[in-house]
Amino acid sequence: MKKRIFALAAVSAMALGLAGCSSGGTETTAAATEAAETTAAEAADTTAAEEAAPAEEASGEVANKDKPLVWFNRQPSNSSTGELDMAALSFNEDTYYVGFDANQGAELQGTMVKEYIENNIDTIDRNGDGIIGYVLAIGDIGHNDSIARTRGVRKALGTGIEANGEVNSDPVGTNTDGSSAIVQDGSIEVNGKTYIVRELASQEMKNSAGATWDAATAGNAINTWSASFGDSIDVVVSNNDGMGMSMFNAWSKDNQVPTFGYDANSDAVAAIAEGYGGTISQHADVQAYLTLRVLRNALDGVDINTGIATADDAGNVLSDDVYVYNADERSYYALNVAVTAENYQDFLDSTVVYAPVSNQLDAAAHPSKKVWLNIYNAADNFLSATYQPLLQKYDDLLNLEVDYIGGDGQTESNITNRLGNPSQYDAFAINMVKTDNAASYTGLLSQ
Shorter beta-carbon distance to Ca ion: residue 133 or 409: 133
Among 127, 223, 224, 228, binds Ca ion (CB under 5 A): 127
Write the DSSP string, 159-211.
-B-EETTEE-----EE-TTS--SSB--EEEEETTEEEEEEEEEEEE---TT--
Q: What are phi and psi of 173, to 5 degrees?
A: 75, -120
C-alpha pair distances (Å), 15 with each of 19, 27, 284, 355, 393? 6, 19, 19, 9, 21
Q: Is 262 in the site for ligand BGC (CB under 6 A)?
A: yes
Distances (CA, A) of 354 to 237, 285, 350: 28, 5, 10
CB of 180 to ligand BGC, least distance (A): 26
Question: Closest approach of Cβ 63 to ligand BGC, in Å?
Answer: 29
Q: By C-beta, is 196 or 378 nearer to ligand BGC? A: 378
Among 57, 83, 129, 189, binds Ca ion (CB under 5 A): 129
**Minimum distance between the CB of residue 6 and ligand BGC, rounded to whole angstroms?**
32
Q: Report how far residue 423's alpha carbon sits from residue 31's, in angstroms, rounded to the nearest whole number.
A: 41
Is residue 347 a contact residue for ligand BGC (CB under 6 A)? no
CB of 205 to ligand BGC, least distance (A): 10
Q: Pattern of binders to ligand BGC over 74-93, x per CB under 6 A?
A: x-------------------
Rounded to whole angstroms, the Cα distance separating 336 from 347 reads 13
Could you tell me if 435 and 79 are in contact, meaning their C-beta atoms sit under 8 angstroms apart? yes
Q: Is 131 helix (H, G, I), strand (E, B) or coil?
A: strand
Q: Which does 263 bind (CB under 5 to 8 A by kind): Ca ion, ligand BGC, none?
A: ligand BGC
Residue 213 is a binding residue for ligand BGC (CB under 6 A)? yes
The phi and psi torsions of 228 (rounded to 5 degrees) equal -90, -30
What span, in angstroms and rounded, lies between the C-alpha atoms of 237 and 110? 9
Q: Does 263 bind ligand BGC (CB under 6 A)?
A: yes
Residue number, 76 or 139, with CB nearest to ligand BGC: 139
- Residue 159's binding partner, choosing from ligand BGC, Ca ion, none, with beta-carbon cut-off 5 to 8 A by kind? none
Binder of ligand BGC out of 242, 244, 258, 407 (CB under 6 A): 242
Q: Which does residue 121 bind out of Ca ion, ligand BGC, none, counting CB within 5 to 8 angstroms by kind?
A: none
The C-alpha atoms of residue 284 and residue 280 are separated, in whole angstroms, by: 11
Identify what 85 binds: ligand BGC, Ca ion, none; CB under 5 to 8 Å per kind: none
> Which of Ca ion, ligand BGC, none has residue 240 at its interface (CB below 5 to 8 Å by kind)?
ligand BGC
Nearer to Ca ion by Cβ, of 83 and 129: the residue is 129
Q: Is 196 in the site for Ca ion (CB under 5 A)?
A: no
Nearer to ligand BGC, 99 or 315 (CB): 99
Judged by beta carbon, residue 244 or residue 356, the one nearer ligand BGC is 244
Strand partners, 366: none
Q: State the minimum distance, in angstroms, from the CB of residue 150 to ligand BGC.
A: 13
Residue 131 interacting partner from ligand BGC, Ca ion, none (CB closer than 5 to 8 Å by kind) = Ca ion
Interatomic CA distance for residues 319 and 76, integer angstroms: 26
Nearest to 305, CA basis, from 18, 28, 8, 49: 49
Min. distance of Cβ 213 from ligand BGC in angstroms? 4
Can you list the pairs that 302-308 forms with residues at least 24 positions away whose Cβ atoms lie under 8 Å? 302/1, 302/2, 302/53, 303/1, 303/46, 303/47, 303/50, 304/46, 304/96, 305/43, 305/46, 305/47, 306/2, 306/4, 307/357, 308/332
Contact 239/268 with Cβ under 8 angstroms? no
- Report the site for ligand BGC in 351-390 (rule: CB under 6 A): 380, 382
Q: By CB under 5 A, is residue 199 in contact with Ca ion?
A: no
What, of Ca ion, ligand BGC, none, does residue 262 touch, CB below 5 to 8 Å by kind?
ligand BGC
Chain positions 118 to 177 lying near ligand BGC, rule: CB under 6 A, are 139, 145
For ligand BGC (CB under 6 A), the number of binding residues is: 11
Query: Could you tell me the smallest distance in angstroms from the CB atom of residue 406 to ligand BGC?
Result: 13
The answer to whether 248 touches 276, Cβ cutoff 8 Å, is yes
Size of the site for Ca ion (CB under 5 A): 4
Amino acid identity at 403? D
- Choose which of 73, 281, 351, 442 interacts with ligand BGC (CB under 6 A): 73
Nearer to ligand BGC, 332 or 382 (CB): 382
The number of residues in the chain equals 447
Report phi then psi at 373, rounded to 5: -140, 135
Question: Does residue 131 interact with Ca ion by CB under 5 A?
Answer: yes
Q: Rounded to an integer, what distance in angstroms lies between the CA atom of residue 279 and that of residue 299?
A: 36
Residue numbers of the site for ligand BGC (CB under 6 A)?
A: 73-74, 139, 145, 213, 240, 242, 262-263, 380, 382
Residue numbers of the site for Ca ion (CB under 5 A)?
A: 125, 127, 129, 131
